[in-house]
Every structure is written in structure tokens, then in C-alpha cells.
């Protein structure tokens, strides 16, 4: 859930690379509008950060986000996509709080993709709350002030004498009160106050924000089957399609025999979809679609297709061989991405040397809901219904592929049955538009099966992380080398990209512990042979697994307690400008406003270890492990307790996670996100792997891409939210708790068994 | 040929091919979309429904095997007092994140409580082990089953 096209563009390595990148996006057609936002402005304008730096920025106009019906029902627009992070509860809650609305009379309305109207809608990067907290407050406050003014005018009293309270405006002097229902029409006729006139609440007056007392808005619909996801969209006369896509990335159809497929009852048509030339972008992979009157008929029709494929240039991609290629690259110098002091001299003179290499496989997002999109074309206008994290990108791409103006494309956002970054890439929406066009504009739902999802994902990258450290005679680290080798996300947008770019390098690679005087970071080249995408927490996953495992290895080599060693390595509390660490990306945030605060990192470590019982005596076969990260401008530490039995099976009775994400809006959903991240991180540690052979994904369904189940998940997950206040800028929540989980678990396995895990997933490595 | 069965108390006829899984009959032909498609091979549990009171995976249950039987989906679960208790516990504890798997989770949890009024952790692991939640809501699922069991009068 993290990368963003504009961020990608701004982070492209050099002007030639940027030009190439832009050309590739332009050639792709649909994305011109998105990148157009920043083109040409790059040189002239000062760098923008946060919500200002995102395409189409932010909007805080209450007339866009708030409407009050004559019966007093307050409709609040949620313009970001709900995928389980709670945004449909959290964002309207912010508006409702400032509006003094009674939550039981609030209705949440999902916005279609229209960034000019709503501001940026690209729901990834753990950004929704931190970017829209203030704009949403402003919306609510300005609507509240309009209601107060309407009441004051009605009563002919100064507006300073009235105040809004729980869906009414009150004139305390006279005891008069009017409900919002009675004031809505008059208030709507008043001008929206300008931003500098809007008075926000003092945080002590918050009634919903920070309280965590509100139930999620879709809870009852979800448990009664009323909630509508992308797979659930139904339109009169709709058809259903599945697509046979090339098993190998860049493979092409040589010939297709549809005779048998067309005999399947319910199958209506077999339609070729053109393959897209590299780079992959968000374009369809091509293949052959089967359109039918129901999904099952389409699936059976697809099985009956006889297709001859040309597997193309990636036909020999093999995970085992590729690992050896990456390891070879990791053992020699590569592109320097940070070089402070003199690593060679310090390492040569070190009393003790530690080396380790870590391997992390490709991962699939495996959202519970496989991707799906429905499209209909009427009178040259296309309407799409889909589970997308990026409705604006979907709109632009659909317009591009149909050759129509984006104004003639409407993208309706359903609930997302999981996102994790997969549904930021709306290739499935384009497929639906192509299908509808092929069926004369009839509504067509393109259903991805689980096999489609696992074999045609934008995969989390595979990586080899090579680390070397020199310790002095007291065990203190004096030299640090980290070589990270991994196919880059950029390759999805620039076909020949082989180096990680700022966004990836800024994810836990560059943020080396500040006490280490000699630091060398390198990024040798790696070629991509499949579509590389962003998966919840992105490059933080491999980088943090490596660094947090390695620091534990250093502590062991020095004969020190891991926590004490880690705290010493981080050093005394200080606020560090991330640019001094070579990171000018800083998760897109202003480096003066969001500094790397080692004091806050220390506090989450102290909290997690205290709560998790660090130092306590455990039975044989049990152990505690620690890891701590600073990602998405949020500080997280995790302490995992593991039990490894005689058969080498791992159980995780408890995980403690401490998080400092600054001020909180909905602590209840923060807890649930962290509980989920702990389970997902455990899956990354123990089970998850996508591997390739002959260019094809070896896994086919959830029987061989193993996910955490209730019996294998941590039994007790305790979340410790650090106290904060609203003077501190907000941090991300959706992603930051994933990266520390796998290293905490593997460090605990070391504590329990003495066995160091350097390759994920653990799977049967501990078995005799 | 058509297949008749009772869906959430209502008599239904499906005109789809006899090998068509119940899942697609319910979703595409009848139009009840609360029962979800997750894997198609009965390993994720998102499509769980009750067939004559027994939890089954609709994605591998051909409609030909359903003739004359009673099917309950998530849309009909509230009519069952145990189902209602499960739903209430889910809502009260904010169990769902994305929510996509939760219909199947509720169906499995209800079937568990109807056969075992006071399930242990091990019972829960076994009965719910076929239902994957990618968001990782498992601790809340477990707590909510226990809460619903307690409210059923046995604890």
C-alpha cells in the first residue's frame, strides 16, 4: 500500500531516467493526466511535501464533503477506499466531530474517482489520516459555523452567542435550540467560510476523535451479507467474464481454438485481449477472455480453450537460479547509495567481524477478495464499479484504452475485500472496459479467480540482503555495510530499471543507527522478470528483516543482551534530519516537520520489552525476540514470544507491539490494524512464498500459497499505543507494524533454539 | 433441467447446469452476494453456507447435490438465534477489517455454537481452521465466539 506514481516520478534517479519514465507513462496512454500534474512544475516550484505533494493535493470544502438532509441526516463523503483499515469510519468521524454531529445520524457516502473534486484518492502509503486530518476537520468546522450562522440569523442574535452541540445549535441566553434538520436549508444558502475564518475545536473538546468508541460503519452490513464488494456488483443484463492470461510475463497468444469453449452452455463469446508491451504499468497482460451468462460457465469455457502460447523473454525465470544470481551480485560492490566515513578501514581494523546474508522470496498480496471489475458503456460514457485503491488511475486508464475523455468515465468504488497494494493497480478495471466494449457496451464483470490472483499479481519483490559489521573490542559497531539486491518497483514503469529508487532505498535501508561512524550502503543491479509491485510495507519488509536480524546477530557476537545493544546502537534521544542519512524521500513528508526521533524509537522499544516481559525466564524451547522500525513516519517495536517443539514446529503464544504514530484519530482501528499486521507479519515469517519455474508461478491456490489460519496465529496480541497529543504530526498506521514482526519472530526462534533463520519463510527449516 | 431447493426458507429453482457449484447459483443466478468467492477449491471458507444445518463450502458443492435440501446463507442467518448472537458479537467487537471473509466466518462460528455450546480454544481452532482471514482478525473472532457462547447461557 505504498508507492505512488507521482512519488515514483519525483524519485526517479536522474533527469534522463525521469524523462524515460515519463515517456513510458505517456506511451501507456491513461496516466498522462496523473503525471501531468507535476511535469514542468518540477524545476520551478519548491518541493512539496505531505498532502501538498500528492497529485491533486487535498480539498477541504465542506460543500463537497458534507450534506444535511431535511430530516437532519448528515451525509459525509469518504473519498478514500475502504479495505479494512477503517477509513470509512475514521475520516467521517473527523468531520462529524468538528461538525458536532450526532454519529447515529451520520451516513457515509463513498466518493467516485474524481480527484479534482475531492483531492488525492490514491489510498496507499498509510497516508489517509495523516494527510486528511486537517482538511476533514476544516470541512466539519466550516459546516458547523454555517449552521451556527443560520441559527443566529433566524434568532436575530450575534453569532458569538450561539454554539453547536450534538446536532443542534443552542442560544444559551434564551435557551432556544434548533436541530440541524431545521437549519440545513438556510445554512446551505450561506457562503462557505474561507479557510482563515474557520475555527477548529480545541482537542480537549473532541467527542469522537481519539476516543475509539465508535463501531465501524459497515459492521452490520458485513455480517448480514449486505456489504457490496467488487466481486458482488450486479447490474441488469450483466455478463460475466474470466480471462486466460499468459502464465509467463510478456508471453503472447500464438493461436487459440475456441471450438470446445463455445459449446459450454452459457458461454457467449471468446474475445482476444491484446498484450501490452513493457513496461507493465497498470495495463492488462492480454490473453483470451471468455464471456458467459454466469461466472461458472465462463470458468468452464476458459478450461476448454486450446491456446498455444509464446512464453517470451521470461520463459526461463527460475527462483532457485535467480537467488544464486542475486547472491553473486550481493557479494561484490554495487551502486553506492550512501557512504559515510571509511567502511573499509574501520572494518579492517575491527576486533570482531560479523557477516550475514538474508533471503526473502516473492510474495503475493492474496487479498481475500480476488480482483474484480464491472464496466458498462452507454452513449460513449463508461461506468465502472470496482474494488480499487486508486479510482483516479482507473479512470484515466479506462479513458485511455477506450479513447474517450476521462470526464466520460465514472469509477464507482465498492468496498475492497483487502487491498495491501494489489488494488492500487487497476489492470482489472481496464480489462472490464475492454470486455464491455467487445460486448457492445453491455455490463460485463471480469472476475479474477484465486489462481489468476496468485499467478498474475504485481508481486512483492524477491531479495538478497548482505550485511557486514565491524565491532570494536567492547562490541560497539564501528563499521556497517549493507548491500540490498532486489528487482525494483520502478521496473513496472521503466522497463529496464535495475536499481532500487529513493522510495525503496528510503525504506529502512538508509536509516542506519546514528551511532555507527562508518556506513556504506550499496545497491547492486537486479533485473525483474515479472511484474513487481508494492505490498503492505514494501521494501521495509526485506530491509527491516535483514537489519533487525543482523543487529541481534551482532549483539550475540558481542555477548550482549539484544535490547540493551539495540538501545546503545540507536544512542541517546536526538532528532535527525533524514536528509543527513541520504534519505531525501522521508515517506513523502517534510523533513523539517517529520524528523527521525530516536527518543521515540527508544520509547517504543522500552514499552514493548517492558510489556512483553523482556528478560523473564522461559521454559526450554521458548524464547523472546525483539525488532524495532521507523517506517511511514511511525515508530514500532515488537516483542514476539515463540515456542519451538521437538518436531521443530513453531507456535507464537504472544506478540506485544508498541506503536508511536503521533496523535490518534481512531485508536480502536489502530489496534485492529496492528493485530492484523502481526498476523500478516507472522505469515511472512513462517509460511508465505511465491516461487517461479520456467517463468511460471509455482503456486496455484491457497492450498500451496499458505496463509495464517486461526490455529497458527498468535493467540494473544497486545497493542500498546504511546500517548501523544495533537501538536505532533500524525504518522501512518496501516503498514508500519508489518516490518518488525518477522525479525522479532526469527530473533525469538534464535533465543529459543540457537538456530538463526536467514531465509524466509521458516517453513520446515527447524524440522529435524 | 432445474433443481429445486429451499434457500433461507424460500423455495427456489435453479436452471443452471447440474455441475454448477451452489456458490454461483446463489451469487449469479439468484443474486444473493453475501456468500463470497475466495478460492474455488474449499480451502478458504469464504463461501461457507449451511446445508441442512451442516456447514459446507458452496464453491465445490454442485447444485445437483442440493436438490430438495435446505440452504441457509449469511442473508438468512439472523433468523437463527445463535446466528444472531454471533452477528451481534461480531458487530460489538468490531471483528471485521475488510470484512470479505466474515460471512463465511459467521456461518462456521454459528455451526460450531449450535453443535457445541461451550467450545474450547482447540474446538475453535478445529471448527474455524478452514476459514482464512487475510486481514488477521483471528483474536477477535475467537473472543467473539466465546462471548456469543456465554450469552447463550452456557459458559
CA–CA distance, A427 with A243 (Å, rounded to integer)? 12
Tell me phi and psi for residue A510, to 5 degrees.
Answer: -80, -20
Q: Which residues of B touch A296 (CB under 8 A)?
A: 16-17, 20-21, 24, 28
Nearest C-alpha neighbor of A250 from the set A272, A219, A278, A214:
A278
Closest residue in B to A418 (Cα) is B98
CA–CA distance, A674 with A696 (Å, rounded to integer)? 33
- Residue-level pLDDT at A43: 52
Q: Which residues of A touch B27 (CB under 8 A)?
A: 232, 295
Average pLDDT, chain A: 94
- Residues 342-381 in A contacting B (C-alpha not used; CB under 8 Å): 366-370
Q: pLDDT digits over A30-59, tens only?
A: 222 233 333 334 456 789 999 999 999 999
Q: Are A264 and A303 in contact (CB under 8 A)?
A: no
Residue spans per domain, chain A: 5-47, 62-203, 230-313+371-447, 319-364+458-753
Residue A613 in this model has a pLDDT that exceeds 80: yes
Sequence-ordered list of residues with C-beta below 8 angstroms from that of A45, at least 6 positions apart, any chain: none
Inter-chain touch B102–A223, beta carbons under 8 Å: yes
Q: What is the mean pLDDT of residues A175-181?
A: 98
Cβ-Cβ pairs closer than 8 A, A with B, add up to 200
- Residue-level pLDDT at A4: 45
Q: What is the mean pLDDT of residues A440-463?
A: 98
Q: Which residues of B touch A295 (CB under 8 A)?
A: 24, 27-28, 37
Q: What is the mean pLDDT of residues A582-603?
A: 96
Inter-chain touch A218–B137, beta carbons under 8 Å: no
- Residues 665-704 in A contacting B (C-alpha not used; CB under 8 Å): 668-669, 672-673, 675-680, 701-703
Tell me phi and psi for residue A381, to 5 degrees.
Answer: -115, 135
Q: pLDDT digits over B48-74, tens only?
A: 999 999 999 999 999 999 999 999 999
Q: What is the mean pLDDT of residues A195-210?
A: 97
Q: Are B96 and A216 in contact (CB under 8 A)?
A: yes
Residue A452 in this model has a pLDDT that exceeds 70: yes
Share of chain A above pLDDT 70, in %: 94
CA–CA distance, A349 with A361 (Å, rounded to integer)? 35
Say whether residue A303 is in contact with chain B using an 8 A CB cutoff.
no
Q: Are A302 and A261 in contact (CB under 8 A)?
A: yes
Superfamily of chain region B77-151: [2Fe-2S]-binding domain (1.10.150.120)
Sequence-ordered list of residues with C-beta below 8 angstroms from that of A395, at least 6 positions apart, any chain: A113, A114, A384, A406, A409, A410, A411
Q: What is the mean pLDDT of residues A674-688?
A: 98
CA distances from A81 to A90, A381, A583 (A): 12, 23, 29
Residue B152 in this model has a pLDDT that exceeds 90: no
CA distances from A380 to A32, A402, A409, A427 (A): 21, 9, 9, 21
- Residue-level pLDDT at A433: 98
| Prediction ipTM score | 0.98
| Nearest chain A CA: its distance from B81 CA (Å) | 14
Q: Per the confidence metrics, is the pTM higher than 0.90?
A: yes
- Residue-level pLDDT at B151: 81
Residue A546 in this model has a pLDDT that exceeds 70: yes
Nearest to B73 among A225, A231, A708 (CB): A225
DSSP state, A235? -
Sequence-ordered list of residues with C-beta below 8 angstroms from that of A287, at least 6 positions apart, any chain: A243, A244, A245, A246, A253, A272, A273, A275
Nearest to A223 among B28, B106, B136 (CB): B106
Closest residue in B to A536 (Cα) is B135
Helix ranges, chain B (H): 22-24, 81-92, 102-115, 121-128, 138-151
Residue A334 in this model has a pLDDT that exceeds 50: yes
Helix ranges, A102-218 (H): 115-118, 128-155, 180-189
Q: What is the mean pLDDT of residues A632-657?
A: 98
Residue A221 in this model has a pLDDT that exceeds 90: yes
Say whether residue B102 is in contact with chain A using an 8 A CB cutoff.
yes
Q: How far apart are the first and last CA of chain B?
A: 49
Q: Which residues of A touch B125 (CB under 8 A)?
A: 710-711
Sequence-ordered list of residues with C-beta below 8 angstroms from that of A489, at least 6 positions apart, any chain: A3, A8, A461, A501, A503, A504, A532, A533, A534, A538
Torsional sign, CA A419, B98, A398, A63: negative
Fold of B3-76: Ubiquitin-like (UB roll) (3.10.20)
- Residues 240-259 in A contacting B (C-alpha not used; CB under 8 Å): 240
Residue A120 in this model has a pLDDT that exceeds 90: yes
Q: What is the mean pLDDT of residues A693-697?
A: 98
Say whether residue B29 is in contact with chain A using an 8 A CB cutoff.
yes
| Nearest chain B CA: its distance from A120 CA (Å) | 21
CA–CA distance, A57 with A48 (Å, rounded to integer)? 10
- Residue-level pLDDT at A728: 87
CA–CA distance, A309 with A316 (Å, rounded to integer)? 14
CA B68 to chain centre: 19
- Residue-level pLDDT at A15: 39
Nearest C-alpha neighbor of A195 from the set A135, A236, A251, A259:
A135
- Residue-level pLDDT at A22: 36
Q: pLDDT digits over B112-132, tens only?
A: 999 999 999 999 999 999 999
CA distances from A330 to A343, A459, A501, A504, A513 (A): 16, 21, 17, 17, 21
Under CATH, which number does the domain A230-313+371-447 receive?
3.30.365.10
CA–CA distance, A516 with A744 (Å, rounded to integer)? 22
Q: Are A312 and A252 in contact (CB under 8 A)?
A: yes
CA–CA distance, A549 with A684 (Å, rounded to integer)? 14
Residue spans per domain, chain B: 3-76, 77-151
CA–CA distance, A104 with A74 (Å, rounded to integer)? 10
Inter-chain touch B28–A296, beta carbons under 8 Å: yes
Say whether residue B50 is in contact with chain A using an 8 A CB cutoff.
no
- Residue-level pLDDT at B153: 62
CA–CA distance, A565 with A482 (Å, rounded to integer)? 19
Inter-chain touch A717–B139, beta carbons under 8 Å: yes
Q: Which residues of B touch A669 (CB under 8 A)?
A: 94
Fold of A62-203: Aldehyde Oxidoreductase; domain 4 (3.30.365)
Inter-chain touch B91–A369, beta carbons under 8 Å: no
Residue A1 in this model has a pLDDT that exceeds 60: no
- Residue-level pLDDT at A34: 32
Q: pLDDT digits over A456-465, tens only?
A: 999 999 999 9
Q: Are A179 and A150 in contact (CB under 8 A)?
A: no
Say whether residue B121 is in contact with chain A using an 8 A CB cutoff.
yes
DSSP state, B28? I
CA distances from A55 to A50, A586, B12 (A): 11, 17, 50
Share of chain A above pLDDT 90, in %: 93
Sequence-ordered list of residues with C-beta below 8 angstroms from that of A610, at least 6 positions apart, any chain: none
| Nearest chain A CA: its distance from B112 CA (Å) | 14
Residue B83 in this model has a pLDDT that exceeds 70: yes
Q: pLDDT digits over A520-545, tens only?
A: 999 999 999 999 999 999 999 999 99
Per DSSP, the three-state class of B93 is coil
| Nearest chain A CA: its distance from B1 CA (Å) | 13
Residue A141 in this model has a pLDDT that exceeds 90: yes
Closest residue in A to B130 (Cα) is A709
CA–CA distance, B47 with B102 (Å, rounded to integer)? 10
Residue A570 in this model has a pLDDT that exceeds 90: yes
Cell (9 digits) for A765: 527449516
- Residues 524-563 in A contacting B (C-alpha not used; CB under 8 Å): none
H-run or E-run covering A21: helix A15-27
Residue A9 in this model has a pLDDT that exceeds 50: no
Helix ranges, A650-693 (H): 667-686
Q: What is the mean pLDDT of residues A76-93?
A: 98
Nearest C-alpha neighbor of A368 from the set A128, A83, A87:
A83
Q: Which residues of A touch B28 (CB under 8 A)?
A: 240, 294-296
More confident residue, A390 or A44: A390
Under CATH, which number does the domain A319-364+458-753 receive?
3.30.365.10
Nearest to A709 among B99, B121, B132 (CB): B132
Q: What is the mean pLDDT of residues A642-660?
A: 97
Closest residue in B to A679 (Cα) is B136
Q: What is the mean pLDDT of residues A444-456?
A: 98
Sequence-ordered list of residues with C-beta below 8 angstroms from that of A16, at least 6 positions apart, any chain: none
Amino acid at each position: 500500500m505504498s508507492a505512488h506514481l507521482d512519488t515514483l516520478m519525483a524519485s526517479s534517479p536522474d533527469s534522463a531516467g525521469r524523462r524515460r519514465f515519463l515517456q513510458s507513462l505517456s506511451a501507456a496512454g491513461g496516466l498522462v493526466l496523473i503525471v501531468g500534474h507535476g511535469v514542468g512544475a518540477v524545476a520551478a516550484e519548491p518541493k512539496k511535501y505531505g498532502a501538498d505533494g500528492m497529485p491533486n493535493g487535498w480539498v477541504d470544502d465542506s460543500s463537497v464533503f458534507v450534506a444535511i438532509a431535511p430530516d437532519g441526516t448528515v451525509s459525509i463523503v469518504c473519498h478514500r477506499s475502504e479495505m479494512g483499515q477503517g477509513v470509512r469510519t475514521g475520516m467521517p468521524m473527523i468531520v462529524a466531530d468538528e461538525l458536532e454531529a450526532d454519529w447515529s445520524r451520520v451516513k457515509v457516502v463513498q466518493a467516485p474517482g474524481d480527484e479534482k473534486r475531492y483531492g488525492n484518492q490514491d489510498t496507499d502509503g498509510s497516508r489517509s489520516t495523516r494527510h486528511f486530518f486537517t482538511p476533514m476537520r476544516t470541512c466539519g468546522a466550516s459546516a458547523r459555523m454555517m449552521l451556527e450562522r443560520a441559527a443566529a440569523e433566524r434568532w436575530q442574535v450575534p453569532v458569538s452567542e450561539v454554539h453547536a452541540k450534538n446536532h443542534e445549535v443552542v442560544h444559551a441566553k434564551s435557551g432556544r435550540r434548533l436541530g440541524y434538520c431545521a437549519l440545513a436549508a438556510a445554512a446551505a444558502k450561506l457562503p462557505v467560510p474561507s479557510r482563515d475564518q474557520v475555527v477548529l475545536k480545541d482537542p480537549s473538546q473532541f467527542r469522537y476523535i481519539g476516543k475509539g468508541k465508535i463501531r465501524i460503519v459497515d459492521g452490520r452490513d458485513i455480517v448480514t451479507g449486505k456489504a457490496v464488494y467488487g466481486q458482488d456488483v450486479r447490474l441488469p443484463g450483466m455478463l460475466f467474464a474470466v480471462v486466460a492470461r499468459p502464465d509467463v510475463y510478456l508471453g503472447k497468444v500464438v493461436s487459440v481454438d475456441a471450438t470446445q469453449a463455445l459449446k459450454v452452455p452459457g458461454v457467449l463469446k471468446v474475445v482476444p485481449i491484446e498484450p501490452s508491451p513493457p513496461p507493465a504499468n497498470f495495463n492488462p497482460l492480454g490473453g483470451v477472455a471468455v464471456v458467459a451468462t454466469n461466472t461458472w460457465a465462463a470458468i468452464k469455457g476458459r478450461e476448454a480453450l486450446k491456446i498455444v502460447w509464446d512464453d517470451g523473454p521470461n520463459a526461463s525465470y527460475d527462483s532457485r537460479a535467480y537467488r544464486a544470481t542475486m547472491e553473486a551480485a550481493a557479494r561484490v560492490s554495487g551502486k553506492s547509495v550512501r557512504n559515510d566515513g571509511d567502511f573499509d578501514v574501520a572494518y579492517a581494523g575491527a576486533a570482531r567481524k560479523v557477516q550475514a546474508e538474508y533471503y526473502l522470496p516473492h510474495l503475493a498480496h492474496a487479498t481475500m477478495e480476488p480482483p474484480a471489475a464491472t464496466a458498462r458503456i452507454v452513449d460513449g460514457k463508461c461506468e465502472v464499479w470496482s474494488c480499487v485503491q486508486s479510482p483516479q488511475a482507473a479512470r484515466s486508464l479506462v479513458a485511455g484504452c477506450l479513447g474517450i475523455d476521462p470526464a466520460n468515465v465514472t469509477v464507482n468504488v465498492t468496498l475492497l475485500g483487502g487491498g495491501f497494494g494489489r488494488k492500487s493497480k487497476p489492470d482489472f478495471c481496464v480489462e472490464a472496459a475492454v470486455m464491455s466494449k467487445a460486448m457492445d457496451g453491455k455490463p460485463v464483470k471480469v472476475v479474477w479467480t484465486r489462481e489468476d490472483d496468485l499467478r498474475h499479481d504485481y508481486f512483492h519483490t524477491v531479495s538478497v540482503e548482505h550485511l557486514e559489521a565491524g565491532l570494536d573490542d567492547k562490541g560497539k559497531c564501528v563499521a556497517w555495510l549493507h548491500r540490498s539486491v532486489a528487482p525494483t518497483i520502478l521496473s513496472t514503469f521503466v522497463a529496464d530499471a535495475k536499481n532500487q529508487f529513493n522510495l525503496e532505498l528510503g525504506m529502512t535501508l538508509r536509516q542506519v543507527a546514528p551511532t555507527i561512524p562508518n556506513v556504506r550502503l550499496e545497491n547492486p543491479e537486479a533485473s525483474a522478470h515479472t511484474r513487481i509491485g508494492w505490498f503492505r510495507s514494501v521494501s521495509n519488509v526485506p530491509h527491516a528483516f535483514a537489519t533487525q536480524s543482523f543487529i541481534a546477530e551482532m549483539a550475540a557476537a558481542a555477548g550482549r543482551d539484544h535490547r540493551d545493544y539495540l538501545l546503545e546502537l540507536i544512542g541517546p534521544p536526538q532528532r535527525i534530519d533524514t536528509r543527513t542519512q541520504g534519505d531525501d524521500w522521508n515517506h513523502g513528508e517534510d523533513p523539517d516537520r517529520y524528523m527521525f526521533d530516536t527518543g521515540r524509537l527508544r520509547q517504543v522499544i522500552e514499552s514493548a520489552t517492558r510489556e512483553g516481559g523482556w528478560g523473564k525466564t522461559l521454559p526450554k524451547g521458548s524464547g523472546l525476540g525483539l525488532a524495532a522500525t521507523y517506517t511511514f513516519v511511525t515508530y514500532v517495536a515488537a516483542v514476539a514470544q515463540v515456542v519451538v517443539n521437538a518436531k521443530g514446529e513453531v507456535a507464537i503464544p504472544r506478540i506485544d507491539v508498541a506503536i508511536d504514530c503521533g496523535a490518534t484519530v481512531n485508536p480502536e482501528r489502530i489496534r485492529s490494524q496492528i493485530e492484523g499486521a502481526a498476523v500478516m507479519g507472522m505469515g511472512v515469517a513462517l509460511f508465505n512464498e511465491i516461487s517461479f519455474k520456467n517463468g511460471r508461478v509455482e503456486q496455484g491456490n491457497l492450498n500451496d500459497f499458505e496463509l495464517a489460519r486461526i490455529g497458527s496465529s498468535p493467540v494473544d496480541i497486545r497493542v500498546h499505543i504511546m500517548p501523544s497529543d495533537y501538536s505532533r504530526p500524525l504518522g501512518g498506521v496501516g503498514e508500519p507494524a508489518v516490518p518488525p514482526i518477522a525479525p522479532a519472530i526469527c530473533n525469538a526462534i534464535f533465543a529459543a533454539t540457537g538456530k538463526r533463520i536467514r531465509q524466509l519463510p521458516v517453513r520446515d527449516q527447524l524440522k529435524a | 433441467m432445474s433443481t429445486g431447493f429451499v434457500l433461507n426458507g424460500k423455495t427456489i429453482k435453479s436452471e443452471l447446469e447440474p455441475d454448477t457449484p451452489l456458490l454461483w447459483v446463489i451469487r449469479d443466478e439468484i443474486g444473493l452476494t453475501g456468500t463470497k468467492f475466495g478460492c474455488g477449491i474449499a480451502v478458504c471458507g469464504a463461501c461457507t453456507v449451511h446445508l441442512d444445518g451442516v456447514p459446507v463450502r458452496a464453491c465445490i458443492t454442485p447444485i445437483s447435490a442440493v436438490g430438495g435440501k435446505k440452504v441457509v446463507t449469511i442473508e438468512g442467518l439472523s433468523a437463527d438465534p445463535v446466528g444472531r448472537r454471533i452477528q451481534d458479537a461480531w458487530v460489538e467487537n468490531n471483528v471485521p477489517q475488510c470484512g470479505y471473509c466474515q460471512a463465511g466466518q459467521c456461518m462456521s462460528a454459528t455451526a460450531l455454537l449450535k453443535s457445541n455450546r461451550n467450545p474450547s480454544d482447540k474446538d475453535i481452532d478445529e471448527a474455524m481452521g478452514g476459514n482464512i482471514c487475510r486481514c488477521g482478525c483471528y483474536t477477535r473472532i475467537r473472543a467473539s465466539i466465546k462471548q456469543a457462547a456465554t450469552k447463550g447461557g452456557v459458559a
